[in-house]
Amino acid sequence: MTESLGTPVLAASSSRCAEWWREAVIYQVYPRSFADANGDGMGDLPGIRSRLPYLRDLGVDAVWLSPFYASPQADAGYDVSDYRAVDPMFGTLDDALALIEDAHAHGLRIIFDIVPNHCSDQHEWFQRALREGPGSRMRERFHFRDGKGADGEEPPNNWESVFGGPAWTRTKNPDGTAGQWYLHLFAPEQPDFNWDHPAVRDEFSSVLRFWLDHGVDGFRIDVAHGLVKAAGLPDAGSIEHTRLLEAHFSPSFDQDGVHEIYRAWHHLLNEYDGQRIGVAEAWAPTQQRTANYVRPDELHQAFNFHYLATDWNGDALRHVIDDTLTAMRAVHAPATWVLSNHDVTRHATRFANPPGLGTQIRTAGDRDLGLRRARAATLLMLALPGSAYIYQGEELGLPDVTDLPDEARQDPAYSRAAGQDGFRDGCRVPIPWTVSGSSYGFGAGGSWLPQPNSWAELSVEAQYGQSDSTLEMYRSALGLRRDHPALESADNLRWCDSPPGILVFERSSDEGPAFTCTVNLTGAPVTFIPPGRLLLTSTQVQVTVGQAVLPPDATAWWTTD
């Protein structure tokens, strides 16, 4: 039976704005794995520069770079030893400045990653703190504590590191005897800063200014929810799920005191012209807690990890979309949407596996199903109001590489969790640019993680200009997103009545045609009256006069002329 998709049932306000970040599509570059200009097997800044035309042609508005600062690479650069220096493996400061300039020349904004929760254990301050010993002023900039027990042999509290094992490591005194413990919410090579200390606050203001003065358009703030810990560092009630999406309270994350820092950063960013922004990586337990980071006097965006963690399920998706829009509307912040990043199994692989496995998956699952759903999920995401994040390679439909040899893996969580977790290397494999050649065009000297042979056909070269390719679907979607007047408003989504498992929403505009998005999550084809002219689909859709058939796991975009 052919069904009408009904009328909109959820009203929302509609507004146009001139703030670029409210609707921006932001592309995440993982510098190790994007493009390698010097042929050492590791991506670098000149490589990224050389590929900026690709990003411009893809149609994104901004690029976010994961860290490329001086670092011993204990956590792939999220262990920074000098926040103002470029690690030689990625290039030079001049390369970074040229990258900013080139990005701007291509009409792209550029956002850097700032890592304020912790530094590297090789950072000058931490090295001094170790040398200068208990009671020294330098130790106050970190969380050093005496241990519990008769000889201080037990850690100061029961916190677990996100990467597994205790969140405390015991130091040795200069004379070789066992000394104090220091806190690290991540690897032992990543000591946490004490943000109660004014020197820490001043130093990060100075680091932000350093890069802002050099022209960056903003910062992605690593572990934004971690900087302030509960006073007195009390024991956690139970072993915490430190990433918090399900926990309701943790003494180590999402403390109210953290917001004072972002209010200060808001003022700092406002001192600069050009709408510089701060984006919170904050894994908060609810959307309402996430929204706290983007109150009008705080940061501009926060990643929507609740959306990222949602299975391919109609009810769950509709719920998380509504929850997001409601929470963000309350603080006048844009919703953000993200499906993949450098910390989670790529969505083409997540959706290839049964639901409920979380975001660290080591099984390839059904690749065809995963790609079909990933494409449908992408068109759903890019049709939603607000800002969207794309992780390098998802526009090629790349799956995770689930069968990396264990000895190739570098994720510190993998070894700390004894191979039971920490499969993040699978989404960090260098991306294929060409159908042949060394490392498929990534560079002239191989790649730091092995690429599967099957990636030739997923390369940019293989997909460019092929109308049914995933790359061309992304390019079309981003072009339409930019051009369709109904997709320009930040908050104009209205759900339409639809049978279970089918999502239908409309976005309208005073200035032109309305836009409708239809998503089929029923597992079977659905037939309905087309809500307009077909614009774009994630898979073949049959449209005849008065009837459309949407296959399972498919999304279609329509316009009412």
Q: What does the DSSP 8-state code read for residue 104?
A: H
* Smallest distance from ligand GLC to CB 422, Å: 10
223 lies in the site for ligand GLC, by CB under 6 A:
yes
Three-class secondary structure of residue 205 per DSSP = helix
- C-alpha dist (Å) from residue 116 to 87, 192, 554: 18, 9, 41
Binding of ligand GLC by 78 (CB under 6 A): yes
The span from the CA of 228 to the CA of 258, in Å, is: 5
- 501: tokens are 């498992």
- Contact string (CB under 6 A) for ligand GLC, positions 36-75, x = contact: ---------------------------------------x
Does residue 222 belong to the site contacting ligand GLC (CB under 6 A)?
A: yes
Nearest to 279, CA basis, from 469, 35, 112, 503: 112
Select 74 or 473, whichever has its Cβ closest to ligand GLC: 74
Query: How far apart are the C-alpha atoms of 370 and 432, rounded to whole Å?
Result: 19
**Least distance from ligand GLC to the Cβ atom of residue 194, Å:** 17
* DSSP string covering 226-265: -SS--TT-PPPSSS--TT-SS-S--TTS--TTHHHHHHHH
Choose among 300, 353, 347, 313: nearest CA to 64. 300
Comparison of 168 and 312: residue with beta carbon closer to ligand GLC: 168
C-alpha 129, offset from chain centre: 33
Question: 46-49: long-range contacts at Cβ-Cβ below 8 A with a sequence spacing of 24 or more?
Answer: 46/91, 46/95, 47/443, 48/99, 49/95, 49/98, 49/99, 49/102
95 forms part of the interface with ligand GLC (CB under 6 A): no
Q: How far apart are CA 449 and CA 47, in angstroms?
A: 17
Min CB(280)–ligand GLC separation in Å: 11
**Given candidates 23, 189, 343, 425, which one binds ligand GLC under the rule CB under 6 A?**
343
Instruction: Rule CB under 6 A: say whether 455 interacts with ligand GLC.
Output: no
Q: How many CB atoms lie within 10 A of CB 135?
A: 9
222 flagged as catalytic: yes
CB-CB contact of 506 with 492 (8 Å): no
Q: In the bound complex, what is the minimum distance in angstroms from residue 77's beta carbon to ligand GLC?
A: 9
Q: What burial class does residue 314 get, using C-beta atoms within 10 Å of its C-beta: 0-12 exposed, 13-18 middle, 19+ buried? A: middle
- How far apart are CB 162 and ligand GLC at their closest, in Å? 7
Q: Is the Cβ of residue 338 or residue 502 nearer to ligand GLC in the bound state?
A: 338
Site for ligand GLC contains 384 (CB under 6 A): no
Which is nearer to ligand GLC, 125 or 433 (by Cβ)? 125
Question: How big is the site for ligand GLC, counted in residues (CB under 6 A)?
Answer: 9
Assess 254 for contact with ligand GLC (CB under 6 A). no
| 281 assigned to active site | yes
Of 108, 98, 103, 112, the C-alpha closest to 25 is 108
Closest residue to ligand GLC using C-beta atoms: 78
Min CB(279)–ligand GLC separation in Å: 12
Nearer to ligand GLC, 343 or 488 (CB): 343
Decide: is 121 part of the binding site for ligand GLC (CB under 6 A): no
44, 79, 95, 281: the catalytic one is 281
Catalytic residue among 61, 79, 87, 222: 222
Which residues sit at the interface with ligand GLC, rule CB under 6 A? 75, 78, 115, 186, 222-223, 281, 342-343
| Positions marked active-site | 222, 281
